[in-house]
Amino acid sequence: MKNIVVKAAALLTLTAPVAAQEAPEGAPSPNAIVDAARPGDWVTIPAEDLLVMELAPDAVGNPRTLVIQLMPAPFSQGWVENIRTLARAEWYDGITINRVQDNYVVQWGDPNHDNPEATGEAKPLPKGLNVMGEHEYSTTKLARIDWQSLPHVLVRANESLRPRKRSHPTIPDAPPRIDIRLDDYVSEPGFVFGWPTTRQSGLQGWAPVHCYGMVGVGRSYSPDTGSGTELYTVIGHAPRHLDRNIALVGRVIAGIEHMSSLPRGSGALGFYTEEEAGKRTPIVSVRVASDLAEDQQPSFQYLSTESETFAKYAEARANRRDPFFIVPAGGADICNIPVPVRRVAATPK
Amino acid sequence: MKNIVVKAAALLTLTAPVAAQEAPEGAPSPNAIVDAARPGDWVTIPAEDLLVMELAPDAVGNPRTLVIQLMPAPFSQGWVENIRTLARAEWYDGITINRVQDNYVVQWGDPNHDNPEATGEAKPLPKGLNVMGEHEYSTTKLARIDWQSLPHVLVRANESLRPRKRSHPTIPDAPPRIDIRLDDYVSEPGFVFGWPTTRQSGLQGWAPVHCYGMVGVGRSYSPDTGSGTELYTVIGHAPRHLDRNIALVGRVIAGIEHMSSLPRGSGALGFYTEEEAGKRTPIVSVRVASDLAEDQQPSFQYLSTESETFAKYAEARANRRDPFFIVPAGGADICNIPVPVRRVAATPK
């Protein structure tokens, strides 16, 4: 009998050799629901929204390629445009990964600038970069969207399903002196156009959410909002306190393990110290996929978050009934429902 | 000007050299609140609850030591006893890390058993291991605790602070066909004796929570509950769907970067394939700290979750007002309030 944490139904033939226990009957896993999606449930990501990032090969010469999906309108477009400008100026070529903080972020940029101990000259910037305001950390443009025009399956929090006050007569309650809200502080999370977002209480705007793998724009103190020269990706538990405080511009959709498995920096905030300069992974190139030769362009699709398949997948993530599980959670936080993304053969144009 | 994601107030002298922007005034950071804790706010962890785990040195000969804190009563004690029994039988010595799945878990055990492709003989087990029931995944014993006898500051969810239904007149609501709860599915999360826990709706029992770094017991299908021979730790976003479905037995309190930065396995569920057998990191030894010579025993303390300092720290994590932040979140999920743990010089006995 094999002891493993989770067995996905689709993988049972791989994980249950020889003496293994047969899988009991159960509902389809979230992955099985995704595997059964119709072709029309998948949305092709425009090549203009894909960045191909080549790190230096690893210690034994294996290539390390990442693909980042940039956020579509109406989110963060000023920074997204800057990132395309910087990529097209080949500004990112030759910069390094300067910070790897466990359970938090990996950050890359000009090591002579994005580095507490830097003493060198900063790399000159291309012309034409946008300077963005803090109000662009969230967007009000979705407020004008007529939700009725979207497919009627839309995954989002439902007020009526929030847990109500319950009495626990056997556990007397101590009055807390300092009250805080846990778990349920987001007033209305939901998925919009393939992205985890939230509509915050008291705001009409929607903000993207700092889930695992999301890519954001490093900045200094307010009112600085960052340009896109320093970027980071989340490699730990979702740091939701950064939502609406930093611009989110995309997510890593392939190769994040090349970031998350890097050695941690021992300096403040996980920066590599000068003594650890040799650990800074060089970034060989960053290209907008649409600028590559056609046969070099990767192609990816995401599962439409407006599709019925996504709604079923999300429901199954929130209530696991596949064979391994005994007690369904009865819910999920938005970052535990990652939007399925798949690589596909490039379609001929 | 340096662009960094987060600057902790205590680290400003490290992160703001030369051309750096001065930090504006602001409230103390969560870390600064912890730094100001009184000595009496810290609780020394018994050496009997500490496991010292020595991995084989890394590729350049650096030692890799982890320390795991085992859960105290009334949580998961049958498995915790098994783990001490296995450590004292030196059963863990010579096993390997067999699974590294990105944004999920690192798992270690007998490679001839905890491995989908295994064909060898399983390692014999010591006598006297407990066989646990699924009802022990949560505990009802806390229901008998008189909360009034605890210090009156107790960090937990407060129903009155849950967001109320708000109208968003400019955004017409589409009726979702499949409703799920997001973010707020845990009825009453809170911290008990230094651990993140939750009291689930409809249950009188408290269950520990799968936050980053928590250690759990691998198992096969129900009714198997695992013995403690295969263990895993969380290296990604909190997989809360595992709560109440697997036994949690502790957390990594030092050296988790030696797990989280390991190369990911390319097999099913992140297991290393037979071709990747060379990537399985050997575990040299696992010892209960109290069995070590006194001068070899590490000593750790956690910030009492019943202390006023912890309540202030949690409130500050939920509402960041230190200089970097513009918009406090207004709340935090329980896994974004890690319980502070510090290494201290061993106290003479």
Q: Do A237 and B237 touch (CB under 8 A)?
A: yes
* B35-61 tens-digit pLDDT: 999 999 999 999 999 999 999 999 999
- The answer to whether position A349 is within a domain reads no
* A190-220 tens-digit pLDDT: 788 899 887 665 556 788 999 999 999 999 9
B334 touches chain A (CB under 8 A): yes
Mutate to test the interface with B, among A1, A3, A321 (most CBs of B within 10 A): A3
- The answer to whether position B161 is within a domain reads no
A155 vs B7, B176, B185: nearest CB: B176
- The answer to whether position A161 is within a domain reads no
Q: Do B264 and A267 touch (CB under 8 A)?
A: no
- The answer to whether position A44 is within a domain reads yes
- The answer to whether position B128 is within a domain reads no
- The answer to whether position B247 is within a domain reads yes
Contact at 8 Å (CB) between B65 and B54? yes
Size of interface A-B (CB pairs under 8 A): 446
Gap from A103 CA to chain B (nearest CA, Å)? 7
Q: How confident is the model at residue B203 (pLDDT cuts 50, 70, 90)?
A: low
B321 touches chain A (CB under 8 A): no
Domain range spanning residue B307? 9-117+134-145+185-344
Residue A17 pLDDT > 50, yes or no? no
Higher pLDDT, A248 or A141: A248
Mean predicted confidence (pLDDT) in A73-102: 97
Q: Do B240 and A332 touch (CB under 8 A)?
A: yes
Q: How confident is the model at residue A349 (pLDDT cuts 50, 70, 90)?
A: low
Lowest-confidence pick of A34-43, A201-210, B297-306: A201-210
A125 touches chain B (CB under 8 A): no
Q: How confident is the model at residue B188 (pLDDT cuts 50, 70, 90)?
A: low
Confidence (pTM): 0.88
Q: How confident is the model at residue B116 (pLDDT cuts 50, 70, 90)?
A: confident
A318 vs B181, B232, B264: nearest CB: B181
Q: How confident is the model at residue B63 (pLDDT cuts 50, 70, 90)?
A: very high
**What backbone phi and psi angles, to 5 degrees, belong to B319?**
-140, 75
B102 touches chain A (CB under 8 A): yes
A256 touches chain B (CB under 8 A): yes
A127 touches chain B (CB under 8 A): no
Distance CA A40, CA B297 (A): 60
- The answer to whether position B173 is within a domain reads no
Distance CA A85, CA A108 (A): 17
CATH of the domain at B259: 2.40.100.10
Q: What is the DSSP letter of A13?
A: H
Q: With contacts defined as CB-CB under 8 Å, which chain A residues touch B102?
A: 256-257, 260-261
Q: Name the average pLDDT for chain B.
A: 82
Nearest residue of B to residue A190, measured between CA atoms? B182
- Residue B63 CB: number of other CB atoms within 10 A? 12
In this predicted structure, what is the pLDDT of residue B347?
Answer: 60
Distance CA A42, CA A45 (A): 9
Q: With contacts defined as CB-CB under 8 Å, which chain A residues touch B226?
A: 3
Distance CA B189, CA B21 (A): 39
Residues in CB range of B72: below 8 A, 6 or more apart:
B49, B193, B194
In this predicted structure, what is the pLDDT of residue B288?
Answer: 98
B141 touches chain A (CB under 8 A): no
CA within 13 Å, CB half, B154? 21
- The answer to whether position B308 is within a domain reads yes
In this predicted structure, what is the pLDDT of residue A155?
Answer: 55
Residue A157 pLDDT > 80, yes or no? no
Number of structural domains (chain A) is 1
A102 vs B21, B238, B256: nearest CB: B256
